[in-house]
Amino acid sequence: MTSNIVFLWLRDARDKSSLRAEVARVEGFELVAFHQPATALTPERFGWELFGGRRSNLRLAAGYEATFSKAKRAAEAAYHQHAAP
């Protein structure tokens, strides 16, 4: 059952464009949270993505939140939604 999952978030060294990026991998899914700096064209953003399914590079869900921790929680909620039987 997915409700007992403990997410271990680790620094994502692959992401060179974000101020901070973390990834959690569980049961064939990859959860990503990132903090993008503000630019002349965009505000500072805290985003998240969920990858998984039969092809691990398939993006299942994504979005932006008000804080980095909320972005991680949103990715976790998307995981529960997509991993539910």
pLDDT digits (tens, 9 = 90+) for 47-64: 999 999 666 678 999 999
- Only one residue has tokens 């990859």, namely 30
Mapping DSSP to helix (H, G, I), strand (E, B) and coil, where does residue 71 land? Answer: helix
Average pLDDT, the chain: 90
pLDDT average, residue stretch 62-68: 97
Query: Encoding tokens for residue 56?
Result: 């691990």
pLDDT at 1 exceeding the cut of 60: no
**pLDDT of amino acid 53:** 66
**pLDDT of amino acid 51:** 94
**pLDDT of amino acid 28:** 87
